[in-house]
Structure 1
């Protein structure tokens, strides 16, 4: 099965093509640039370099969030459009699960991927591998990194932390967890789009029209608007 995977949920732009157990190609950048003008050219370039035609694709897999509100929306919109146009299945996968799979395959313990959510907060969850299958130990959530560290201190296992935003929260995590905290290497911090493709390969397809991103929280502008209009007939 030929699958196109798309991840624009954070600064990292990741595109991958897989065919059954074979990774055909990956495109990854980690730069602060507008995904909306870069993602389609990246898809076209990768498909051209890999000699894959749109009609060859059998499934689209997209990182559904959490992450950047705008970034998640861009990836999901493009994935839905491609799946509808090509009349092929669409599957969404947690952006945090992708990050976990990108670093934790051989880690004997728990995996805590994280994205910075500002004001001391993080998007995170807790994952682990059971043989070769990634499973969820605690669901994706939004909370203060110091509160997350306190929760994890009660765990018996070591915890692998992974993500490009790790340096923002590393001191807090280390202070509370001590030797239980393990921090992924720099080369493991980017979510791999091929991992996204494999995670979504066997997942059930979404209904294209009703599928929406998982933001976990409203965008700041939307939250402020709702607060300002609370109780009004709008």
Structure 2
């Protein structure tokens, strides 16, 4: 199977091309740049260098969320448009699971984190790539407090991802600094890891594919401050606007 994998859900951008379980190429940019200016360039470069045609692809794998609203919409749009135009399969993979899968941490509880600012985070708990605590948007201090109720083996917990702003909170919750992954490569999303997970999943309908934000956009939250939730429930904020 030939797969193109895209992840623009965080500050880092990652694109990979995989054929028959062999990575043909991967581009990861950990730069403060607008992903819209680099995503298509990265895709074109990988396909050109591989001597493949876009029509040779079997499946497109997209980091479906959570993460940056703009980044998620970008990858979803590129993935859906490409899948529709080329008549290819599309699958979505949790952005947090993709980060967690970077670690070779057999049987340990891996906590992937994405910084959502102001003490908030997107976080989850995985063990051997199986969901222990589902992806969620949370106040991270509350997530840590709740984690102690769900995971009793504290020494088997590993934090990875965008943990920089949460180190003190993690230590205050009873974990050791050695349990926080700091290697700059290991904490970045990997489109290759995304592709390996996506290869095992069932494809979904192209038109029904959508990002999983896990949190309302700021504009919707402000709109709901002056409108009843029930008034918006029938059709949804985005559709209504």
Q: TM-score, normalised by structure 1?
A: 0.92
Measured in 1, the distance between the counterparts of 2:214 and 2:196 equals 23
- Equivalent residues of 2:167, 2:177 under 8 A apart: no
Q: Per-residue CA shift, 1:2-38, capped at 9, x if unaligned?
A: 0000001111110001112211110000111111121
- 3-state secondary structure, aligned to 2:147: helix
Q: Does 2:135 correspond to 1:140?
A: yes
Distance 2:187 2:146 in 1: 23
Q: How does 1:81-92 map to 2 (within 5 A)?
A: 81-92=81-92
Shift of 1:225: 1.9
Contact 2:99 / 2:187 at 8 angstroms: preserved in 1? yes
C-alpha contact (below 8 Å) 1:159/1:181 kept by paired residues: no
1:59–1:90: 8 Å Cα contact kept in structure 2? yes
Q: Secondary structure at the match of 1:178?
A: coil
Greater Cα shift, 77-86 or 182-191 = 182-191
- 4+ long deviations beyond 6 Å: 231-234
- How many residues end up aligned between the 2 structures? 228
Q: TM (normalized to structure 2)? A: 0.89
Aligned to 1:10, the other structure's residue is in SS state coil
Q: 1:19-34 counterparts in 2 under 5 A? A: 19-34=19-34
Report if the CA contact (8 A) 1:152-1:177 is conserved: no
Question: Structure 2: which 5+ residue stretches go unaligned?
Answer: 233-239
Q: CA deviation at 1:41?
A: 0.9
- CA RMSD, Structure 1 to Structure 2 (Å): 1.7
Q: Deviations over 1:148-203 (max 9, x none)?
A: 1112223222211111x211011101111234971113221101110000100020
**Residue 152 of structure 2 is aligned to residue 156 of structure 1:** yes
Q: Could you list the runs of 5+ residues in structure 1 that have no partner in the other structure?
A: none
1:1-234, aligned counterparts within 5 Å?
A: 1-103=1-103, 105-129=104-128, 134-154=129-149, 155-157=151-153, 158-163=156-161, 165-179=162-176, 182-186=179-183, 187-230=185-228
Distance 1:142 1:53, change over 3 A: same
Task: Judge which range, 219-228 or 74-83, deviates more.
Answer: 219-228
